[in-house]
Structure 1
Amino acid sequence: MRNSKWMTAGAAGLAVAAVLSACSGGAKSNGSASGNGGSSPSGSAAASSSASPDAEKTISLKVVSQTKYAPNSVPNEYTKRTQEKFNMKWDYQAIPLSAGMDKYNVMFASGDYPDFIPNMNQWNAVRKWAAAGYLLPIGDYFDKLPNYRKLYTDDQWKMLQDFTSVNGKVYMLPFITTTYDPQTWLYRKDLFDKAGIAEFPKTTDELTDALQKLKAADPNFIGIGVRGGSGNTGVKNLLISFSNTFRVPPDFSGSTGWTSFWHDPDYDNKLVFAPATDKQRAMLEYLAKLYKAGLVQKDFATSTEDQFNQNRQNGKDALDFQWVSQIVSLEKQNEGADWDYAKGFVSDAGIGKNPLMFKGPDFALYGSIFSNKLADQPDKLDRLLKYIDWASTPEGTLFNQMGVEGLTYEMKDGLPVYKDDLDRKKVLEQYGFDYYITKNDDALKTDPTYAIDQEAAPIFKAIDTVLAENAPMSDEDTDTVNTVMTGVWNEVYQFATKAIMGVVDVNDDKVWQGYLSDLNKVGLDKAMAIYQKAMP
């Protein structure tokens, strides 16, 4: 087991983390939480805080949060203490990531949308809502967010305005990343050893052989595990598993700065839509072979995230493609499992080139968005901006990420650590706390996921890397792209699902040409013309 490496935070581990902290993410430090005595808003402390708007009237706000995990109850400690500190009354609802986007889309389509979403994780939806006039151009109020601005270097700040602009305005406060957490193959080393696989495969042929050995060694093995969810989540995540191998940008709905329109070096830097290239076809051909041999999770297209987690815990999932930091929680959930991560991506002989790393800016295109209605409600907007700017300070980031000292965490050697058996998931579920603007520096130093991220970072930063390109567009062009690309992506994933499952033969030229024709029927040619103007 590797638990002793990542599950403890002894003096030596803290010292290493403290040194590495200065190198993470390229962002400016958000300071030391311990310098504030680990304070959090509670009781009389809230009334005495300089950030608390004493003697101001109570402000009512509708808040909807796209949490990673669903809180057990609302209101909870997070909502109650935040409302008390800033004299706000929240009509609060949590709609977790696993629930998809349907409820959010209904809210905006009906006009009954929230004043504030602290953590929207769907950049394409943000662009659409901004272009439709639903969102407040928060960039016009940056002067009221000095602490948020301090989280960014000057170069990062310019990049923020380049990548998050819609119609020339900024409508989102992105999450600033302070760690480098790459996606790669996570695998059960103990099950690999049992099947006689000495090391993780380096090529697609070796991967096929390894999967066959795992299947022969354990009849319960389901093949490559896939993190499912609503809509096209399953097939999307399966394709992401091989995007680096086949040099096809992964689709994270724009949250990484990548849109799948890019100047592909394999096509003489011609602007292409990646899912319409021969490399996408080659990836589907390979996946179809794996699926036919029973080496990919059979229900990848319809499974849920809960099923994914269950398969990991019961040993049916011996490998999947996820973020390196997840190994810590995996080993905590099953102390008998020895999880490890592949130190790179597998290559494919047919592609004939090394895998690529697709890197976005030093922030994620998910974060806080605000209703356009606030423009005519200055009292509400000012109060909300005070909260956001406080939430960008060391005190605020500690509160959002870790909760309350004595309740959810305690201080050890001047650094915050979760109490008892609490972790991020339990603290969110039981108390409602979770980070959304950035992570707290001091909390990172005691976080075992930070140690493994720092170990993996130099390995993956050494891989050939391509940077995301910005694509500035006019109002009209943005509207057109937002409209047509919904249909295009649906066509991409419906075809991919059928191709992988063998419903259609991707090797048949007539089938492939029919797919390309269908993409243009739903508007790919229109989107391509716009991107050619935006990315000459």
Structure 2
Amino acid sequence: MLKKPFSLLMSLILPALLVVGCSNSGNAPSPSPAPAASPSSEPTATANSKYEKELTITVSRAILDATNVKEDLEAKMLKEKFNLVFKSEDYSRNDWPTKMTLLLSTGDGPEFIPYSRDQWKSVEWMSSGYLRPFELDEIKQKLPNYLKIWTDEEWDTVYKSTRFSDGKVYFLPSKRTIPVQNAWQYRKDLFDKYGVDFPKTPDEMLAALQTIKDKTGLIPFVSPGNTSSPLWAVSTFFQMFGFPDLVLNWNSYVDPVTNEFHAYPLATEESREMLVFLNKMYTNGLMMKDFATATADQTNKLIAQGNNVIMQTITDPAYNNELQQAVAPDVNWTWVENYDHPTNNPQKTIYKKEAYYSFWGPAIKAGTSQEKVDRLLDYLNWAASEEGQMWYTFGKEGATYEMKNGVPTYLPTMSTPTNAEGDKLPTYGINIGLIGFGGFMTLHKAFDESFNKVKLDMSKVIPSKPNYYGPIEPIFQFSEDERKELVALETNLNGVRDEYWLKFIIGALDPTNDSDWEKFIKAANKAGLSEVVNLRTDAYNKAK
């Protein structure tokens, strides 16, 4: 199992975040399966005159990795229920955004995109008129099951947050099922062996990890960056200093205590303390040296050797145990008692509060015939129904699960969130396009009740703790010209931010030195910091 990339192993137990696909040859990665539906009572397409005509719709998907498809149950379901045939052309995840942009710009793009993402150029596609908008009245009339997923308050926030500058929605966001599911975890076996308590402050974190390193020779913190920013590897520590860990995505946030808007906080005095901490982590060897450039294989190899003893995660402890069992037979990963978070300010501890939605979902190409649009909307409305949620979360009885005492139970051949081995839903063609598992509809509640009981507990315990706050993602209203200007500016500014932050972390610059800090601020201003702050502040005020 340890030969698999660590990112894929993580994806097996992070289904709501997974982005996977399948090639035409029948290869696909997979999220972990989840409890699902009882057999359908819906009429088949052949028995429904509404779907008498077979429709073929072109589809494009992004591939993360590959496994063999034994039987394409989704294709059979689409044909039987809706007389639909998806003709897919898929690309590797790294190439997919560029390929899609080229295809759409020449008019050859797919009619249906199972999921689109803001960082995958979907904003550019909206701006260029490549995508068909979902009108609000159309959503209400054609997708009632989708609207039922949200409360009125949630949908109002989601609609305002995901609408384009023309006020229209060009994709259908998916709903997150658990509002809080991130907590600290550590190797209790090592901490107990060397008499180290779980740290409550940044200074205690440094001291605890130094002890573990000195006693064992292990690298205490191992986490890779990713293609959007090398700083993702260290973003797990942001919350200790009052910043949301998603600030690299958001760039702005609203303080949950003061309601103060921070337009670009990673280029302010408030972030220097965090850089001092990260520099000590790096120079003392408490984190992997090549965190900014390490591949998943390199990271996985270090973890398999026993490195990495503390992390903030949603991963099941049993899964982390499995990764290191071979080299550490007594390994014992466990959640921190009462889900306590280390913090530099006991009066304001920041925890990760999930947004109502994920900024990705299905989209339809502009110019797609109304006949095909209507059929796709029928399909999407079914996918968001109780039956559709169950089917996409669990699969088909007899193929991926069986009923035991009235409860859907995975077949012994299937992978689960606590056992990565076995067949996965895409092995049977299910969720290749990721309509489920974060791509459109919410997972069926049976999944969380069966596999996420601890995380459901977190959602009750963590928000109720004194002085614990979930950061607020701000809502903006940009014009099309403002959005284009902001994207161009932030591309440069984020690059400068990453460059200087890395220099501060590795010690090429000193975050405590005012002269070095001024070099960063001057470079950021030259890259458009003040313009970004003004654009974001004005758009935030307009959206109020």
- TM-score, normalised by the number of residues in structure 1: 0.80
Match of 1:215 among 210, 213, 218: 213
Q: Do residues 105 (structure 1) and 95 (structure 2) align?
A: no
**For residue 363 of structure 1, what is the aligned residue in structure 2?**
357
Q: Do residues 461 (structure 1) and 463 (structure 2) align?
A: yes
- Structure 2 CA distance for partners of 1:438 and 1:74, relative to 1, 3 Å: same
**For residue 64 of structure 1, what is the aligned residue in structure 2?**
61
**For residue 417 of structure 1, what is the aligned residue in structure 2?**
409
- Measure how far apart 1:354 and its partner are: 2.9
Q: Do residues 479 (structure 1) and 473 (structure 2) align?
A: no
**For residue 149 of structure 1, what is the aligned residue in structure 2?**
147
**For residue 512 of structure 1, what is the aligned residue in structure 2?**
517
Residue type of the alignment partner of 1:464: Y
| 8 Å contact kept, 2:400–2:411 | yes
| 8 Å contact kept, 2:61–2:113 | yes
**For residue 302 of structure 1, what is the aligned residue in structure 2?**
293
1:62-461 pair list within 5 angstroms: 62-65=59-62, 70-73=65-68, 77-85=72-80, 86-93=82-89, 99-100=93-94, 102-110=95-103, 111=105, 112-122=108-118, 125-140=121-136, 141-142=138-139, 143-167=141-165, 168-197=167-196, 199-219=197-217, 221-232=218-229, 234-238=230-234, 240-251=235-246, 254=249, 259-264=250-255, 269=260, 271-323=262-314, 325-331=315-321, 336=329, 337-342=331-336, 343-348=339-344, 353-357=347-351, 359=353, 361-374=355-368, 377-423=369-415, 426-428=423-425, 430-434=427-431, 435=437, 436=439, 437-446=441-450, 448=451, 450-461=452-463
1:18-33 pair list within 5 angstroms: none
Residue type of the alignment partner of 1:459: V
- Structure 2 CA distance for partners of 1:135 and 1:319, relative to 1, 3 Å: same
Q: Deviations for 1:324-346, whole angstroms, at most 9, x for unmatched residues?
A: x4435334556653221232321
SS, match of residue 170 in structure 1? coil
- Measure how far apart 1:453 and its partner are: 0.4
2:497 and 2:267 map into 1 onto residues whose CA distance is 9
- Measure how far apart 1:312 and its partner are: 3.5
1:419 and 1:268 map into 2 onto residues whose CA distance is 49
- Structure 2 CA distance for partners of 1:49 and 1:279, relative to 1, 3 Å: farther
2:202 and 2:72 map into 1 onto residues whose CA distance is 48
- Measure how far apart 1:395 and its partner are: 1.6
- Measure how far apart 1:458 and its partner are: 2.3
- TM-score, normalised by the number of residues in structure 2: 0.79
| 8 Å contact kept, 1:248–1:279 | no
2:257 and 2:236 map into 1 onto residues whose CA distance is 20
- Structure 2 CA distance for partners of 1:94 and 1:196, relative to 1, 3 Å: farther
SS, match of residue 166 in structure 1? coil
- Structure 2 CA distance for partners of 1:474 and 1:516, relative to 1, 3 Å: same
2:462 and 2:282 map into 1 onto residues whose CA distance is 28
Seq. identity, %: 26
| 8 Å contact kept, 1:71–1:428 | no
- Measure how far apart 1:391 and its partner are: 0.7
| 8 Å contact kept, 2:179–2:353 | no
SS, match of residue 70 in structure 1? coil
2:184 and 2:396 map into 1 onto residues whose CA distance is 35
Q: Deviations for 1:36-79, whole angstroms, at most 9, x for unmatched residues?
A: 634499xxx855676x953112323123146xx53414695254
- Structure 2 CA distance for partners of 1:194 and 1:368, relative to 1, 3 Å: farther
Residue type of the alignment partner of 2:182: Q
SS, match of residue 240 in structure 2? coil
SS, match of residue 330 in structure 1? helix
- Measure how far apart 1:271 and its partner are: 3.9
- Structure 2 CA distance for partners of 1:460 and 1:174, relative to 1, 3 Å: same
- Tell me the matched-pair count: 480
- Structure 2 CA distance for partners of 1:114 and 1:518, relative to 1, 3 Å: farther
1:107 and 1:124 map into 2 onto residues whose CA distance is 9
2:274 and 2:372 map into 1 onto residues whose CA distance is 50
Q: Deviations for 1:163-185, whole angstroms, at most 9, x for unmatched residues?
A: 11111111221111222343233
| 8 Å contact kept, 1:471–1:535 | yes
Q: Which runs of 5+ in 2 are unaligned?
A: 1-34, 432-436
SS, match of residue 214 in structure 1? helix
Q: Deviations for 1:77-117, whole angstroms, at most 9, x for unmatched residues?
A: 25433442333332335567xx44x5313421452543333
1:334 and 1:53 map into 2 onto residues whose CA distance is 55
2:47 and 2:340 map into 1 onto residues whose CA distance is 48
SS, match of residue 424 in structure 2? helix
| 8 Å contact kept, 2:183–2:312 | yes
- Measure how far apart 1:156 and its partner are: 1.1
Q: Do residues 494 (structure 1) and 494 (structure 2) align?
A: no
Q: Once structures 1 and 2 are overlaid, which stretch shifts more, 360-369 or 151-160?
A: 360-369
1:40 and 1:430 map into 2 onto residues whose CA distance is 25
| 8 Å contact kept, 2:73–2:429 | yes
Root-mean-square deviation (CA), in Å?
3.1
2:354 and 2:286 map into 1 onto residues whose CA distance is 31
- Measure how far apart 1:288 and its partner are: 0.8
SS, match of residue 533 in structure 1? helix
**For residue 9 of structure 2, what is the aligned residue in structure 1?**
none
1:492 and 1:191 map into 2 onto residues whose CA distance is 36
| 8 Å contact kept, 1:131–1:478 | no
Residue type of the alignment partner of 2:377: L
Q: Which runs of 5+ in 1 are unaligned?
A: 1-32
